[in-house]
Amino acid sequence: MLHIKDITQRVEGRLLFDRATTVVHKGERVGFVGRNGSGKSTLLRLIMGTTPLDGGEIVVPKGASVGTVAQDAPSGPTSLIDTVLAADIERTALLAEAETAEDPGRIAEVHERLATIKAETAPARAARILAGLGFSEEAQQQPCSSLSGGWRMRVALAALLFTEPDLLLLDEPTNHLDLEATLWLEGYLKGYPGTLLLVSHDRNLLNNIAQRTLHLEQLKLNIYNGNYDRFERTRRENQERQAAMRTKQIAERRHIESFVERFRAKASKARQAQSRLKALARMEPIASAIEERTTTFDFPTPVQLSPPLINLEDAAVGYSADLAVLNKLNLRIDMDDRIALLGANGNGKSTFIKLLATRLKPMSGRLVKSSKLKVGYFSQDQADELDLNGTPLEHMARALPMETETKLRSHLGRFGFGQEHATTKVGKLSGGEKARLLFALMTRDKPHILLLDEPTNHLDVDARQALIQAINGFDGAVILVSHDPHLIELSADRLWLVSNGGVASYDGDMESYRQLLLDQRREERARARSERRERESELNGFADPKQGQSKKDKRKAAADARAAAADLRKKVKAAEQNVERLERRKKDLEVKLADPKIYDASTADLQAIHVEFGQVSKAIADAEQLWLEAQSALEDG
């Protein structure tokens, strides 16, 4: 599906790729990883053809569609659902032609093609995708212009997923999603019918979706079998093996040099010495494994305070005097707390964080805190407030005007800013580097509590791992909002659920929360179907069909209902059996793909397995949809 051959690319004079080569087979789901700024997004633009290639070749099969999220978020008066539907250009054009075509033959062709592409099911499919990304049925009818930038990017993602390109390129798709939408996207991509190349720093997403992992390192593209965890393990083993071979070679070289030095002048040993010199010249040096610079986070240790740090007593908070977002908050936060906030976007997580940061005051009730309490507040929005022409050192000097340059540099060093980096203009820093500067600025006063609102959006996988270690090593309290389940699972020991206008302790773990979301979505879909039927009944003026029936008619109607129910039960059972059969086949294929020997076989055999895997995944998604529809019909009957 994608063949990258010996590509070379420079951006502003900096070399990103040097004769890099790789192949992505049809139907594969490939995770694409590498350090921030290494060139991952550049490669996606090269594949799309929006950036000219300096050298080499990128080959995609003729006729294959390639898609990525549009950089310009949709706006204007068009509704969300119509925006997504319009992304299918062929369907839109055919529907327009069906309204104007006069030639009977052409009309037949148009309707045949519409049937082939399942045009009649498109609105339902678009609605399901939008619902998965967090848009209610009512919101889907609203104009795009009514949304913020982040929500409009969700619409752009929905439009891309709706078109189902043969090669889907996703660059950090979860950056604008909350945890709920991230979990839905993960499930959707698992069954994606085409080929997927996914740039992400979300370890859970990479582990649950990727079949292979493409790593951009040292200007080359290296592909590994398996998900991110397996890639890390394989790469580490390769580095250890390479280091052992290099140590052995150095010892052998020293032994040969010692022999030559001792016997070079002796006539009886001259021939052996010359032979060893030639062996030494032929010995190709084994390069040492180059470890990329590790991102560091080191939060300063706060002075201990008596508990509680913060106590909320029947507090309410909001943005207008007559409308509270959260009510009846009775909570306390202690020095050793590690709390993650769960709940869909719009439920009030960020509002709660702003209350704790005293950026919002209680509308009623009390917020009691120590007079000595220092709070560190992190939000990605703060990056917009940075002076792009200033340097990290200048930002720290403004924040701490009485401190010496040595202490300022020392504090910046805790977050990976070395001597040169500290004097680089902020406008030239990557998103991850700006995030680290925000961490440095928010901890300058040694805060007792860290309020982290989506701290990982621009951090790569290694930086996220460093953040987890820093949080776990911090001696104060942490309140965390994140769409990264891996970060939550490894750094939070308590979960609070923000929903229905309140904040309450959640006793389950992330897996039970995932199941809670799935159950809620099923209930919402069932409720939406019921409401839709009621509206249709009212619009069509349907009366109760049982009124005015004779006993004979009622018996016949009951018999028909029993027969219909029996038929639906058969359909449900058949659909369940079909899903089980396909799941068994999928597991068989996964076992084959996990076997390293398969990659030593012929390319044709490997490609055939990948193609079948994609087909089976698509068939499972279709079969599950049929099962859901049959089950819903049975329940509704």
Neighbours of 39 (CB within 10 A): 21
Given this model, what pLDDT does residue 546 score? 47
Average pLDDT, the chain: 81
Burial, 143: exposed, middle or buried (Cβ in 10 Å; 0-12, 13-18, 19+)? Answer: middle
Q: 18-32, 111-125, 405-419, 561-575: which range is least confident on average?
A: 561-575
**pLDDT tens, residue by residue, 465-496:** 888 888 988 999 999 998 888 889 888 989 99
Given this model, what pLDDT does residue 536 score? 65
- What order do you get walking across the sheet with 66-68 strand by strand? 66-68, 167-171, 195-199, 29-34, 212-217, 220-225
CA–CA gap between residue 117 and residue 98 (Å, rounded): 15
Q: 4-8, 324-328, 523-527: which range is least confident on average?
A: 523-527
Which is higher by pLDDT, 420 or 392? 392
CA–CA gap between residue 131 and residue 181 (Å, rounded): 9
Residues 473 and 397 in one domain: yes
H or E segment to which residue 207 belongs: helix 203-209
Residues 274 and 423 in one domain: no
Residue 462 · residue 485 · CB < 8 Å = no
**Amino acid making up residue 550:** S
**pLDDT tens, residue by residue, 495-510:** 999 988 999 999 888 8
Q: How is residue 79 annotated by DSSP?
A: B
Does position 595 have pLDDT exceeding 80, yes or no? no
Residues 436 and 367 in one domain: yes
Residues 383 and 492 in one domain: yes
Given this model, what pLDDT does residue 329 score? 93
Residue 71 lies in a domain: yes
**What are the residues whose beta carbons fall under 8 Å from the beta carbon of 226, sequence distance 6 or more?**
210, 211, 212, 213, 234, 594
* Sign of the alpha-carbon dihedral angle for 365, 368, 371, 374: negative
Residues 155 and 245 in one domain: no
Identify the domain containing residue 528 by its residue range: 511-539
Given this model, what pLDDT does residue 69 score? 87
Does position 170 have pLDDT exceeding 80, yes or no? yes
Longest Cα separation, the chain: 123
Residue 320 lies in a domain: yes
Residue 41 lies in a domain: yes
Does position 251 have pLDDT exceeding 70, yes or no? yes
Residues 486 and 521 in one domain: no
Given this model, what pLDDT does residue 147 score? 82
Bond into 77 cis (ω within 30):
no
What three-state secondary structure class fits 92? helix
Which is higher by pLDDT, 536 or 56? 56
CA–CA gap between residue 217 and residue 13 (Å, rounded): 18
Does position 324 have pLDDT exceeding 60, yes or no? yes
Given this model, what pLDDT does residue 510 score? 84
Q: How is residue 143 annotated by DSSP?
A: B
Q: Measuring CA to CA, which residue among 82, 157, 155 is closest to residue 122?
A: 82
Which is higher by pLDDT, 517 or 28? 28
Q: Which two tokens stand for residue 7?
A: 């590509």
Does position 633 have pLDDT exceeding 70, yes or no? no
Given this model, what pLDDT does residue 543 score? 45
Does position 347 have pLDDT exceeding 90, yes or no? no
Residues 380 and 482 in one domain: yes
Domain's final residue, options 201, 217, 232: 232
CA–CA gap between residue 259 and residue 67 (Å, rounded): 63
Residue 93 lies in a domain: yes
Given this model, what pLDDT does residue 550 score? 55
Let me know how many helices (H) and strands (E) the chain has, helices first. Answer: 19, 18
Given this model, what pLDDT does residue 464 score? 86
| Torsion, CA 127, CA 482, CA 151, CA 529, rounded to 10 | 20
Does position 538 have pLDDT exceeding 60, yes or no? yes
CA–CA gap between residue 53 and residue 39 (Å, rounded): 13
This model's pTM is above 0.75: no
CA–CA gap between residue 352 and residue 327 (Å, rounded): 10
Residues 515 and 526 in one domain: yes
115-to-108, 163, 194, 307 alpha-carbon distances in Å: 11, 16, 21, 67
Q: 71-75, 211-215, 296-300, 360-364: which range is least confident on average?
A: 71-75
Given this model, what pLDDT does residue 255 score? 67
Residue 544 lies in a domain: no
Residues 250 and 179 in one domain: no
Residues 494 and 527 in one domain: no
Domain's final residue, options 207, 232, 257: 232
Indicate the angle between helix axes 405-413 and 392-399, nearest 10 degrees: 120
32-to-38, 95, 216, 227, 565 alpha-carbon distances in Å: 12, 38, 8, 10, 48
Number of structural domains, the chain?
5
Which is higher by pLDDT, 209 or 236? 209
Given this model, what pLDDT does residue 314 score? 93
Q: How is residue 357 annotated by DSSP?
A: T
Given this model, what pLDDT does residue 544 score? 47
CA–CA gap between residue 614 and residue 195 (Å, rounded): 8
Per this entry, what is the length of the chain?
637
What three-state secondary structure class fits 70? coil
Residue 340 lies in a domain: yes
pLDDT band for position 174 (cuts 50, 70, 90): confident
**What are the residues whose beta carbons fall under 8 Å from the beta carbon of 241, sequence distance 6 or more?**
none
Residue 558 lies in a domain: no
Residues 92 and 57 in one domain: yes
CA–CA gap between residue 596 and residue 273 (Å, rounded): 44
Q: Which two tokens stand for residue 467?
A: 């953040």
Residues 248 and 331 in one domain: no
Given this model, what pLDDT does residue 537 score? 67
CA–CA gap between residue 626 and residue 571 (Å, rounded): 9
CA–CA gap between residue 276 and residue 260 (Å, rounded): 7
CATH of the domain at 155: 3.40.50.300
Domain's final residue, options 232, 260, 290: 232
Residue 561 lies in a domain: no
Q: Measuring CA to CA, which residue among 33, 22, 458 is closest to residue 216?
A: 33
CA–CA gap between residue 396 and residue 14 (Å, rounded): 29
Q: Measuring CA to CA, which residue among 296, 298, 300 is closest to residue 444?
A: 300
